[in-house]
Structure 1
């Protein structure tokens, strides 16, 4: 597995991946996250501007969060989940302090855990409950300034950050917040 990397010693993509993997393995051990790391690939993005990290995975049409996926039904899976990729964003890592980066990794581990169990993932109720258990946020902090910020009209909670004009921004009156079911405000 290689020599341990200190957080302060992260100077390259390889260091970032090595340290993040070490941390995620510790989270699995200490927080009881059910993830098979032999089915997780890692990469670093130097282009992403909106996401601190992401789990890239195949979209499985019949997968539903909360319902264990029958991996045996998928050709070539041998009953095991198809590997996914955790993509880490260098600019987010460079902007965040250690605590925020660790929270970002715990957030992504929830996505991996859901995907490996259910074949899909989202930010719904099950994700929010697990985020509470892992002391992380449902939405990772921004590391670049968005062009548009949409909030819930009722509670003021963040609904979305958008970095360009899009359907959600232009037709926001047709959408409701997940938290309160209220209209969206453009901040």
Structure 2
């Protein structure tokens, strides 16, 4: 950094994550090549607290951390997210692939890293089955096709019809036309 430059929140997140990665590599003897690891922060991510991308051509893994997750979690929880993504980087570097299978579970368990992260943002939409006795429910953060046209899809448990609720307003719809009507009625509150 040069004189007069101020650190941003993204700089802070990356600095803390890099320090933690060095500690993890030493303490848990995780054979991850930190020199072939890049870090970035997503200011937009709402669902994923982190992810690890692999570039097989360059052999570089990029860990992307969500700024909103950093704001939401305290450091020990966020450090768990960093360890989770380091396991993905380790898998990519050593095996050329990564997932949440047995090898991942074993290594993540050894590092005290969560297998999955709790949601850190409230969903924008809730999908609910309309069939009596079925308690299937799903959430979405974006207006995906199942949100926009629920009549073209079925419940994930029983195959029945479902409705979509705009979580903030409570408005519901079961068709593409209902989606458009709810969006138009809410206007700026959408």
TM-score, length of structure 2 as denominator length: 0.63
Q: What does the per-residue CA deviation read over 1:49-100, in whole Å, with 9 as the maximum and x for residues that have no partner?
A: 1111111124x6xxxxxxxxxxxxxxx65xxxx1111111111001101110
1:70 corresponding residue in structure 2: none
Superposed CA RMSD: 2.9
1:166 and 1:110, CA in 2 relative to 1: closer, same or farther beyond 3 A? farther
Segments of 4+ in structure 1 off by > 6 A?
Answer: none
Secondary structure of 1:87's counterpart equals: strand
Report what 1:51 is aligned to. Answer: 48
Q: Which has the higher contact order (CA 8 A, sep 6+)?
A: 1
- Between structure 1 and structure 2, the one with the greater Rg is 2
Question: Unaligned 5+ residue runs, structure 1?
Answer: 3-9, 61-75, 151-159, 175-187
1:136 & 1:111 partners in 2: Cα distance? 11
Per-residue CA distance 1:105-144 (angstroms, 9 max, x = gap): 1101110010001111001111112221111211012110
CA offset at residue 149 of structure 1? 8.7
Q: Distance in 2 between matches of 1:166 and 1:138?
A: 28
TM-score, normalised by the number of residues in structure 1: 0.64
* In structure 1, C-alpha distance between the alignment counterparts of 2:22 and 2:86, rounded to whole Å: 10
The CA deviation at 1:173 is 3.8
Q: Could you say which residue in structure 1 is the equivalent of 2:13?
A: 16
Q: Which residue of 74, 78, 93 maps to 1:97?
A: 74
Mapping for residues 155-170 of structure 1, pairs under 5 Å: 162-164=140-142, 165=144, 170=154
CA distance in 2, matches of 1:171, 1:110: 34
Query: Cα–Cα, structure 1 residues 172 and 22, in superposed 2: closer, same or farther, change >3 Å?
Result: same
Q: Alignment partner of 1:85: what SS?
A: strand
1:144 aligns with 2:104: no
Aligned length: 137
